[in-house]
């Protein structure tokens, strides 16, 4: 075995292996191999937002540990990578960067600017992912903005339309006035903010009496279509059915009876407006009330708002409050804490508008989603409730059309003469109805020959919620079901309600089958102070900087060790630093071991004479294998890494290596078979540690493998070596107990030397060991050579004493008395 270099150049060696692994092709999923079981990871195609952040590092480390572990387990692993390109986020950035709105330039120009920005961002993120050492099969790379991906998204739309899941309708939807588009429930964030409750007088018809209504949105008064009270509320029940005038509007509405009104909120009298909130929508439907379309798509008051028409919502509120005050109709105001929905991309307050949109029927699938959520494996298990609770809370179908530009077009046209809806045929896609005509001669209904292409586009989630099928090869590979459902769907706690949910509805609707068999959840990355990481809080860490400074293997250890799977984890520089120190320790210990193994030939093991400490470490390494394997199976990465690090650092480096040094340096004293036993144990245990660490710290373990083990092993990379199988025959509990006793002696003496401020190699004239039982005495005597050598104590006496100097010695304990040589 060759000596190893003293220094380990993190950046250089990590880059080297990243390139070599790529050249070796060990990440390639073998599409023709039907012998090995497949393991497919439904890698989330990230939204290209530029720089890789620590949250991405956490995600990809999770996926990658699973991929590498499964590969070593013998699976044919599919670890694909796509990019979820479309969407509002990119459009908003283009608008900001170029100081324009989307309508200011031709759509083609706008689109090409979006593509340009996305390409730039993808390049930046890809560099980061490569630098982390993620074992992605880059031959699978795809971008949802490519027409070839449109083809898949559009095909799924066409098929779902055929199956009756896609429909067009005029329904209330969440609307972002800033982005001028419909958005889905999942894109609405709920934030708490201070609002004002206005107490307004509504005069009863034909009377001087009035009812007081408390509302935080007086600007909706022009859209008031009814006033409701609880029939059990004795204050107001007598007014049910009477007319009441809408302030400032010169018209009247009816007071209706509604049991869901909370008599304790506000005044107990509620105005119904179209639409102030989702409750209004329910009431309007239930009581068949008329709809006044108060807001335009850009968030201004429409003609229905009479004198307030043309004002933005905020301006209208101020004007109406002023008019109410002037008319003596505003009794009082008070501040309240309220929850409002905002657009998750631009943070504008979301309004509810009734507009014609495309919807996917999702509510009928809720039961199937819950059933599947309960059947699949979740890591951690309790996270399944997030999907179930979200599904149960939904009351609207999914609005899938968007009034934007940078997205997959909806493959639909309308007949100019009879408005017939023409949906593309399966073999027309990809197609852009904004540029192309439908491939038919005439309208099947009226024979008309003029068509208008749909200008609305699809929600980005329509692209990314078919990944499980797409990764498997749908619709092009006849055998795509070989990889479907995906083995594992990794998701963040923040996107269970979107991604996991949409994947479920799309695949269940399309294929009547669930998309994945397990879900691996990661939490969010917090700043070191435990708060959300953000540049403005000065607790932000840029992933490229962390990776450049500390390297992938150290950074990956932070991600693995940061916390229980699924929990939020803080980013602390000292955790990465600890990972780096561990690697330096591993490197130095390996270098040292390589020296001790300079003349070792693994093939020649005929005459092994395993000593108590050899049996001890071999048994411990076997138990560690069992434990770490179980932890990887359960995705308990933080436990797995702590177990391997503790074993490596403390059991192997601190004790075993130290304890067998003398045997290796002084074969004349100990005999060559005992020396060989130490070499054998060092070799096997170090190899085992490298294997167990390989999914977490792939670069350094590979470098050590190549330098120390490659000559004797058949695997071109440690990454394709078979994961060690637990061998119960190698476990020897007796040997572990005995070894612990021997280690206790060494520990006691070291402790004593440290207390007396003596160097660890300070010679000892006479060492007396007190052990509790005759059996322990025998054990310690049998390890006499290792103890004497390690402690520089040639003269050792072991006595069986249950009690010494007033101290009780238990069967698992030892007590030592040390007679140091007089100082020279």
Q: How near is the Cβ of 161 to Zn ion at its closest, in Å?
A: 18
Q: Which residues of 452-475 are buried (b: 16+ CB within 10 A; e: fewer)?
A: ebbebbbbbbbbbbbbbbbbbbbe
Q: Which residue number, 188 or 626, has a Cβ lying nearer to Zn ion?
A: 188
Q: How near is the Cβ of 191 to Zn ion at its closest, in Å?
A: 13
E strand map for 250-346:
251-257, 269-273, 330-343
Q: Which residue number, 339 or 367, has a Cβ lying nearer to Zn ion?
A: 339
Q: Does 350 bind Zn ion (CB under 5 A)?
A: no
- DSSP label of 766: E
187, 525, 536 from 533: Cα distances, Å: 21, 7, 9
Q: Which residue number, 342 or 769, has a Cβ lying nearer to Zn ion?
A: 342
Q: Which residue number, 445 or 802, has a Cβ lying nearer to Zn ion?
A: 445
Candidate residues 115, 321, 346, 731; the one interacting with Zn ion per rule CB under 5 A:
346
User: Rounded CA gap, 574 and 580, in Å?
Assistant: 10
Q: Does 740 bind Zn ion (CB under 5 A)?
A: no
Q: Which residues of 46-62 are buried (b: 16+ CB within 10 A; e: fewer)?
A: bbbeeebbbbbbbbbbb
Candidate residues 74, 89, 448, 667; the one interacting with Zn ion per rule CB under 5 A:
448
Q: Which range in 257-265, 391-399, 407-415, 739-747 contacts Zn ion by CB under 5 A?
A: 407-415
Q: Which residue number, 403 or 619, has a Cβ lying nearer to Zn ion?
A: 403
User: Rounded CA gap, 770 and 803, in Å?
Assistant: 8
User: Rounded CA gap, 162 and 421, in Å?
Assistant: 13
Q: Which range in 137-145, 353-361, 437-445, 792-800 contacts Zn ion by CB under 5 A?
A: 437-445
Q: Which residue number, 351 or 397, has a Cβ lying nearer to Zn ion?
A: 351
Helix (H) or strand (E) holding 722: none
Q: Angle of helix 543-550 relative to helix 552-561, nearest 10 degrees? A: 120
Candidate residues 251, 286, 332, 445; the one interacting with Zn ion per rule CB under 5 A:
445
- DSSP label of 512: S
User: Rounded CA gap, 12 and 643, in Å?
Assistant: 28
94, 113 in Cβ contact below 8 A? Answer: yes
Q: Which residue number, 446 or 754, has a Cβ lying nearer to Zn ion?
A: 446
Q: Does 420 bind Zn ion (CB under 5 A)?
A: yes
Q: Which residue number, 87 or 698, has a Cβ lying nearer to Zn ion?
A: 87
**Residue 467: alpha-carbon gap to chain centroid:** 16
What length is written for the chain? 824
Q: How near is the Cβ of 346 to Zn ion at its closest, in Å?
A: 3
User: In 3D, which of 409, 438, 408, 436 has the Cα closest to residue 423?
Assistant: 438
Phi-psi region of 193 (alpha: psi -120 to 50; beta: other; left: phi over 0): beta
Q: Which residue number, 453 or 562, has a Cβ lying nearer to Zn ion?
A: 453
Q: Which range in 436-444, 543-551, 689-697, 718-726 contacts Zn ion by CB under 5 A?
A: 436-444
Q: Which residue number, 77 or 313, has a Cβ lying nearer to Zn ion?
A: 313
Strands 764-771 and 796-800, sheet pairing: parallel
Q: Does 392 bind Zn ion (CB under 5 A)?
A: no
Q: Which residue number, 190 or 756, has a Cβ lying nearer to Zn ion?
A: 190
Q: Which residue number, 179 or 354, has a Cβ lying nearer to Zn ion?
A: 179
401, 457 in Cβ contact below 8 A? Answer: yes
Q: Which pair of tokens denotes residue 215?
A: 């509302």
Q: How near is the Cβ of 441 to Zn ion at its closest, in Å?
A: 12
**Residue 716: alpha-carbon gap to chain centroid:** 32
User: Rounded CA gap, 752 and 497, in Å?
Assistant: 59
Phi-psi region of 132 (alpha: psi -120 to 50; beta: other; left: phi over 0): alpha
Q: Does 422 bind Zn ion (CB under 5 A)?
A: no
> Count residues contacting Zn ion (CB under 5 A)?
15
Candidate residues 65, 94, 211, 343; the one interacting with Zn ion per rule CB under 5 A:
343
Q: How near is the Cβ of 199 to Zn ion at its closest, in Å?
A: 32
Q: Does 621 bind Zn ion (CB under 5 A)?
A: no
Candidate residues 319, 352, 443, 500; the one interacting with Zn ion per rule CB under 5 A:
443
Sign of CA dihedral 332, 336, 341, 345: positive
83, 118 in Cβ contact below 8 A? Answer: yes
Q: How near is the Cβ of 454 to Zn ion at its closest, in Å?
A: 15
691, 708 in Cβ contact below 8 A? Answer: no
Q: How near is the Cβ of 89 to Zn ion at its closest, in Å?
A: 10
CA angle 571, 386, 347 (to 5 degrees): 65
Q: How near is the Cβ of 275 to Zn ion at its closest, in Å?
A: 18
Q: Which range in 28-36, 409-417, 767-775, 799-807 contacts Zn ion by CB under 5 A?
A: 409-417
Candidate residues 440, 446, 573, 754; the one interacting with Zn ion per rule CB under 5 A:
446
Rg (CA), the chain: 35
Q: Which range in 157-165, 406-414, 445-453, 501-509 contacts Zn ion by CB under 5 A?
A: 445-453
770, 817 in Cβ contact below 8 A? Answer: yes
Q: Which residue number, 343 or 745, has a Cβ lying nearer to Zn ion?
A: 343
Q: Which range in 443-451, 458-466, 522-530, 573-581 contacts Zn ion by CB under 5 A?
A: 443-451
Q: Which range in 262-270, 387-395, 418-426, 735-743 contacts Zn ion by CB under 5 A?
A: 418-426
533, 57 in Cβ contact below 8 A? Answer: no
Candidate residues 415, 422, 718, 783; the one interacting with Zn ion per rule CB under 5 A:
415
Q: Which residue number, 301 or 422, has a Cβ lying nearer to Zn ion?
A: 422
Residues 165-184 that bind Zn ion (CB under 5 A): 176, 178-179
Q: Which range in 231-239, 410-418, 474-482, 754-762 contacts Zn ion by CB under 5 A?
A: 410-418
Q: How near is the Cβ of 227 to Zn ion at its closest, in Å?
A: 32
Q: How near is the Cβ of 352 to Zn ion at its closest, in Å?
A: 14
Q: Which range in 187-195, 340-348, 740-748, 771-779 contacts Zn ion by CB under 5 A?
A: 340-348
Q: Which residue number, 296 or 417, has a Cβ lying nearer to Zn ion?
A: 417
Query: Binding residues for Zn ion, per CB under 5 A?
Result: 176, 178-179, 343, 345-346, 348, 415, 417-418, 420, 443, 445-446, 448
């Amino acid at each position: 075995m060759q000596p190893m270099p003293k220094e380990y150049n993190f950046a250089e060696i990590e880059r080297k292996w990243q390139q070599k692994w790529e050249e070796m092709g060990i990440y390639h999923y073998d599409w023709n191999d039907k012998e090995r079981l497949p393991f497919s990871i439904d890698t989330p195609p990230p939204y290209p937002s530029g720089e890789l952040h620590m949250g991405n590092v956490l995600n990809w480390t999770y996926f990658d540990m699973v991929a590498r572990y499964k590969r070593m387990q013998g699976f044919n692993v599919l670890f694909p990578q796509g990019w979820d390109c479309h969407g509002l986020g990119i459009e908003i950035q283009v608008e900001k960067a170029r100081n324009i709105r989307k309508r200011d330039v031709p759509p083609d120009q706008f689109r090409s600017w979006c593509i340009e920005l996305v390409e730039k961002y993808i390049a930046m993120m890809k560099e980061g992912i490569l630098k982390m050492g993620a074992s992605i099969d880059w031959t699978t790379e795809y971008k949802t903005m490519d027409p070839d991906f449109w083809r898949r998204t559009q095909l799924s739309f066409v098929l779902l339309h055929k199956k009756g899941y896609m429909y067009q309708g005029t329904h209330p939807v969440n609307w972002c006035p800033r982005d001028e588009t419909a958005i889905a429930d999942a894109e609405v964030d709920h934030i708490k903010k201070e609002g004002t409750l206005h107490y307004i007088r509504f005069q009863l018809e034909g009377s001087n009496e009035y009812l007081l209504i408390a509302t935080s949105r007086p600007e909706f008064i022009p859209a008031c279509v009814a006033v409701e009270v609880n029939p059990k509320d004795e204050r107001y029940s007598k007014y049910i059915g009477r007319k009441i005038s809408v302030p400032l509007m010169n018209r009247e509405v009816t007071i209706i009876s509604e049991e869901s009104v909370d008599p304790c909120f506000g005044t107990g009298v509620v105005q119904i407006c179209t639409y102030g909130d989702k409750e209004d929508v329910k009431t309007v439907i239930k009581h068949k009330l008329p709809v006044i379309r108060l807001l335009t798509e850009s968030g201004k008051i429409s003609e229905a708002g009479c004198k307030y028409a043309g004002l933005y919502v905020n301006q209208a509120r101020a004007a109406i409050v002023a008019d109410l005050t002037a008319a003596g109709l505003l009794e009082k105001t008070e501040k309240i804490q309220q929850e409002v929905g905002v657009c998750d991309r631009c943070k504008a307050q979301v309004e509810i508008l009734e507009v014609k949109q495309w919807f996917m029927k999702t509510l009928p699938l809720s039961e199937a989603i819950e059933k599947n959520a309960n059947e699949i494996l979740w890591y951690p298990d309790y996270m399944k409730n997030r999907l179930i609770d979200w599904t149960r809370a939904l009351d609207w179908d999914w609005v899938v059309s968007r009034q934007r530009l940078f997205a997959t077009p909806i493959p639909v046209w309308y007949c100019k003469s009879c408005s017939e809806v023409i949906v593309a045929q399966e073999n027309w896609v990809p197609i852009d109805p904004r540029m192309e005509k439908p491939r038919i001669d005439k309208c099947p209904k009226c024979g008309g020959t003029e068509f208008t292409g749909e200008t609305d586009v699809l929600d980005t989630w329509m692209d990314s919620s078919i990944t499980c099928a797409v990764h498997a090869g749908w619709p092009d590979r006849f055998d795509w079901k070989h990889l479907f459902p995906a083995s594992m769907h990794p998701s963040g706690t923040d996107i269970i309600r979107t991604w996991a949910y949409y994947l479920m509805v799309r695949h269940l609707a399309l294929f009547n089958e669930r998309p994945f068999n397990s879900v691996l959840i990661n939490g969010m990355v917090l700043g070191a102070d435990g708060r959300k990481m953000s540049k403005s809080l000065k607790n932000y860490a840029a992933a490229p900087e962390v990776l450049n400074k500390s390297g992938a293997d150290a950074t990956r250890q932070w991600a693995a060790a940061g916390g229980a799977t699924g929990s939020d984890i803080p980013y602390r520089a000292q955790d990465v630093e600890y990972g780096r120190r561990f690697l330096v320790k591993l490197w130095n210990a390996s270098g040292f071991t390589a020296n001790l193994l300079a003349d070792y030939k693994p093939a020649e093991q005929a005459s092994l004479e395993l000593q108590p400490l050899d049996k001890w470490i071999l048994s411990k390494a076997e138990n560690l294998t069992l434990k770490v394997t179980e932890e990887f199976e359960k995705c308990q990465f933080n436990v797995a890494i702590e177990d391997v690090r503790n074993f490596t650092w403390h059991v192997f480096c601190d004790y075993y290596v130290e304890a067998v040094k003398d045997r290796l340096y002084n074969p004349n004293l100990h005999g060559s078979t005992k020396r060989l036993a130490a070499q054998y144990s060092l070799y096997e245990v170090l190899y085992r540690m490298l294997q167990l660490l390989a999914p977490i710290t792939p670069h350094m373990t590979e470098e050590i493998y190549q330098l120390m083990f490659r000559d004797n092993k058949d695997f071109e990379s440690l990454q394709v070596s078979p994961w060690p199988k637990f061998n119960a025959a190698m476990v020897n509990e007796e040997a572990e107990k005995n070894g612990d006793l021997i280690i206790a002696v060494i520990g006691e003496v070291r402790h004593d030397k440290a207390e007396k401020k003596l160097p660890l190699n300070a010679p000892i004239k006479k060492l007396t060991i007190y052990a509790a039982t005759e059996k322990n005495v025998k054990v310690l005597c049998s390890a006499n050579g290792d103890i004497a050598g390690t402690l520089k104590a040639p003269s050792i006496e072991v006595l069986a004493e249950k009690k010494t100097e007033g101290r009780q010695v238990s069967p698992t304990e030892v007590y030592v008395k040390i007679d140091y040589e007089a100082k020279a």
